[in-house]
Structures are given as structure tokens and as C-alpha cells.
Amino acid sequence: MRSTRAAAALERLKLRSGNKSYSMVLTADRMFSLVLGSPPIAQGEPLPMDAFVKFVDGFGPQTPRRVTKMDLAFEAQLGKRRK
């Protein structure tokens, strides 16, 4: 089983939160668990990889969506058409 996606999700969480103490644990039954600190404190229940990635992406502070001038103009055009 490749855990690259899970590791990438964990790195994104560390970057968003500014807390480098987060880590993941792979259990014997191939489930992933998010832990914090030393001694490790579980931040959730063990999950399969896809569910773990979704959980970690939703955990902690979220980055605001980047909006460009073109995005705003497009949304304004959509708003005019709906009326």
C-alpha cells in the first residue's frame, strides 16, 4: 500500500497549522491514524487511506480560497444571467 497521499495530506496540515508535531501512524491492519506530540495523542480513530486523507484535509485551520479579478468578473457575469 502506498501512503504517499497520506503523507502529502499530513504535510499540508503541518503547513496550514504551523505545528510540526503532527504525525501519522500506520496500524497493523493497514489503517492510518493522526497523532500529535510526544507521547502521541490520537486526534481521531484509525481510518483507511482515502478516509484518512479526507479527514486530515478537513482537520485544523483551512487556507482561504484564492480569488483573482477574473474569478470575480466571472461570478458577476453568472449573477447577471441568473436574474
Spatial distance between the Cα atoms of 53 and 34, rounded to a whole number of angstroms: 10
Asked whether residue 83 carries a pLDDT value surpassing 80, the answer given is no
Asked whether residue 1 carries a pLDDT value surpassing 60, the answer given is no
**Exposed, middle or buried, 51 (CB in 10 Å: 0-12/13-18/19+)?**
middle
pTM of the model: 0.70
pLDDT tens-digit profile of 38-51? 888 888 899 999 99
pLDDT band at 67 (very low <50, low <70, confident <90, very high): confident
Determine the average pLDDT of the residues in 47-64.
88
